[in-house]
A and B are shown apart, each in its own frame.
Chain A
Amino acid sequence: MITDQIIIAAVIAALCSCDNVAFGQFMLSRPIFCAPLFGYLSGDIGTGLWMGMIAETIWINTLPLGAAIPLDISALGILPVFWSAKYFAAIPHSAVFGLLLALPFAYLAKEIDILGRIVNTKLMLRLERELFEFGKAEIGKTIFMGLSLFFVKFFIFYVFAFYFGGWIFQKLYLCLPPFIIFTLSKLWYLLPALGFGSAAYIFAGLKLPFFRK
C-alpha cells in the first residue's frame, strides 16, 4: 500500500520536475504549484499552500538559466509536504524540518540532473553520427529518449527521496530536543517574512512613478 502510494507520488513528482527543463516550462515545477498539489493528494492542502508559498518566495530567483543548473526547486516544494503529511500529519510545522532536510536532496537532484545532461551529449553525438554516416536519423526517437531519461532519473530520485528521506525524516524528528521543536513551530510563521524579503529584493532597482523627476 505504502509502496503503491510512493510509486504514484514519484510518477507525479517526476512529471512536475520534467516541466522544469525537458518539456514545456508551464511552471508545473514551481513550489507554488507542486507543493499544494502534493498537499491536496496527501489530504493536507493547507500545509502544501503554506510550504509552497515559503519555498516559492525564498527561491523566487532560482531558475535554470543557460548552462547554470540550480538546486532542484521542485524537490523543495514536494518533499517537505509529502514527508510531513505522511508521518506527522497533525503537526504542520514538521514540514519546516522537512524543508531543511530536503536541502541536501535538492542538491542531490541537481547533481543527477547534471549527469543526465552529460548523457544527453552522447545522445546528440549519436544522432549527428547517424546523419553523417547513414544519411538518416530518427530525431523524434532521440527527443523521446532524452525526455524518458529526464523522467526516469527524477522518478528514481523521488522513489529514493520518499523512501529513504522519509525514513530519516521520521527518525530524526522523533529525536529532536524540545527547543528545536519550538524553533520549528516559530519558523513556520517567520519563514514567510524571510521569503517576502527575498521576493521584494527583485524590485530593488525599480523606479516608482511617484518618485520620478
Chain B
Amino acid sequence: MKTLFAEMFIRSFFLQSVWNFERMQNVGFLFAIKPMLDKIYNDENERNAAYLRHLDFFNTHPYMANIIIPACVNVEESNSDLQKKIKDLKFLKTAAASSFAAIGDSFFWGTLRTCAAFVSIAVIIFTAFMGEQNHPLNFIVPIVFLFVYNSFHLSMRFWFLIAAFSLKDQNIALINKLQLKSILHLVKLFALLFITASALFYIVYFHILEEASLFGSQFLDTFCLIALFALSVLFGRVKPTIKLCGLFFITALLSFTRF
C-alpha cells in the first residue's frame, strides 16, 4: 500500500503534462489514479471502463488534486451500483474540484508563494542596503525561496493524499478541519511585514545612492519614489506590462527634458 501511495504521489506531479482545452487535466488525473484502478479492477473490461470514466473533464488546482484522487478511489472501491458511482464521481470532479481549485489558488499561489518570494526579496534588499549586492553567498536567495515554498507545499500535498484516503467519505470535511482561513490570514500578515520592511529599506537605500538620482535633489527623488510606490498600489488592477511601459515613457520624457 505504501508503494502505491508513493507511486500516486509521484504521478500526481504529471497532472498537467497533457493539459488540453477540451478536458483540461483529464489525462494527468487518469495517470495518477491508474495504479489504484489496476488494483481495484482485475477484469480487463471493467478496468477499461474505469479508465474511460476518468477521461472525463477534470480541472482543479494541481496540489488540491491530491484530495480528489483518493476521494475518487474511495468511490471506485465502494460496492454501490455503477450509476451511483458515476454520479458521485461527477460531483467530485466538477463541483468539489472547483471549490478546491479556488482554495488552492488563494492559499498556495496567492499567499504561500508570495510570502516565500517576499522573504527572498527582503534578503536581496537587505544585502543591497548593506552594500553587498554582489556577495558570493547571494546564490542562497533563490534556494531560500524554493525551500520555504516547497518544504511546506510538498508536505501538504503528501498529507492531503494520505488523509483524504483514510477519511473515506469524510474527506471533504478535511478542508474545514484545516482552519485554512486563519492560516491564510496569518501568512498574509507575515508576507505584508516582509514587503513593508523591504519597501522601507529600499527607500532608505535609494535615498543614499547618488547614481539613482533623477532630479539631482534627494528630497525630490525620494518623494518621486514614494509617489511611484503609491501610484503602483492605486493602479494595482492595471496590467503590469502597461504599468512598466508607462513608467518607461514618463522616465524617458523626464530624462529628455534634462538632456
Q: Which residues of A contact B (CB under 8 A)?
A: 21-28, 30, 32-33, 36-37, 40, 45-46, 49-50, 52-53, 56-63, 65-67, 71, 99-100, 103, 117-118, 120-121, 123-125, 127-128, 131-132, 135-137, 139-140, 142-143, 145-147, 150, 178-180, 182-183, 185-204, 206-209
Whether a CB of chain A sits under 8 angstroms from the CB of B52 is yes
**A144 to chain B: closest residue by CB:** B17
A22, B189: Cβ atoms closer than 8 Å: no
B138, A46: Cβ atoms closer than 8 Å: yes
User: Given the interface contacts A131-B51, A131-B55, does A196 sit within 8 Å of B26 by beta carbon?
Assistant: no
Residue in A30, A127, A180, A199 whose CB lies within 8 Å of B27: A127
A179, B252: Cβ atoms closer than 8 Å: yes
Q: Which residues of B contact A (CB under 8 A)?
A: 13-14, 16-24, 26-28, 30-31, 34, 44-45, 48, 51-52, 55, 59, 62-63, 101, 105, 109-110, 113-114, 116-118, 120-121, 124-125, 128, 133-134, 138-139, 141-142, 145-146, 149-150, 185, 188-189, 191-192, 195-196, 198-199, 202, 206, 209, 211-212, 214, 225, 228-233, 236-237, 240-241, 243-245, 247-248, 251-252, 255-256, 258-259
User: Given the interface contacts A103-B241, A131-B51, does A32 sit within 8 Å of B145 by beta carbon?
Assistant: yes
* Residue of A53, A61, A139, A196 contacting most chain B CB atoms (<10 Å): A196
List residues of chain A with CB within 8 A of the CB of B206: 189, 193
Residue in B113, B188, B212, B243 whose CB lies within 8 Å of A58: B243
Give the distance in Å from the alpha carbon of A30 to the alpha carbon of B4 in the complex. 31
- Least CB distance from B45 to A in Å reads 7
B228, A190: Cβ atoms closer than 8 Å: yes
B259, A71: Cβ atoms closer than 8 Å: no
B45, A197: Cβ atoms closer than 8 Å: no
**A54 to chain B: closest residue by CB:** B244
List residues of chain A with CB within 8 A of the CB of B44: 135
Chain B interface helix/strand/loop/mixed: helix
B243, A198: Cβ atoms closer than 8 Å: yes
User: Given the interface contacts A57-B121, A58-B244, A193-B225, does A139 sit within 8 Å of B30 by beta carbon?
Assistant: yes
A127, B55: Cβ atoms closer than 8 Å: yes
List residues of chain A with CB within 8 A of the CB of B133: 46, 49-50
A197, B195: Cβ atoms closer than 8 Å: no
A197, B255: Cβ atoms closer than 8 Å: no
**B212 to chain A: closest residue by CB:** A189
A36, B228: Cβ atoms closer than 8 Å: no
**A186 to chain B: closest residue by CB:** B214
B241, A67: Cβ atoms closer than 8 Å: no
Give the distance in Å from the alpha carbon of A71 to the alpha carbon of B22 in the complex. 21
List residues of chain B with CB within 8 A of the CB of A191: 244, 247
Give the distance in Å from the alpha carbon of A58 to the alpha carbon of B245 in the complex. 12
Give the distance in Å from the alpha carbon of A59 to the alpha carbon of B240 in the complex. 6
- Least CB distance from B63 to A in Å reads 7
List residues of chain B with CB within 8 A of the CB of A66: 24, 59, 101
User: Given the interface contacts A28-B146, A33-B142, A190-B228, does A179 sit within 8 Å of B19 by beta carbon?
Assistant: no
List residues of chain B with CB within 8 A of the CB of A136: 48
User: Given the interface contacts A26-B150, A198-B232, A201-B236, does A120 sit within 8 Å of B19 by beta carbon?
Assistant: yes
Q: A62-B240, A120-B19 are in contact. List 5 more A-B contacts (CB 8 A).
A: A28-B146, A57-B117, A120-B18, A124-B18, A139-B31
- Nearest first, the 5 closest Cβ-Cβ pairs linking A and B are A197-B232, A201-B236, A146-B18, A189-B212, A120-B20
Residue in B31, B209, B240 whose CB lies within 8 Å of A198: B240
User: Given the interface contacts A131-B55, A179-B252, A201-B233, does A147 sit within 8 Å of B14 by beta carbon?
Assistant: yes
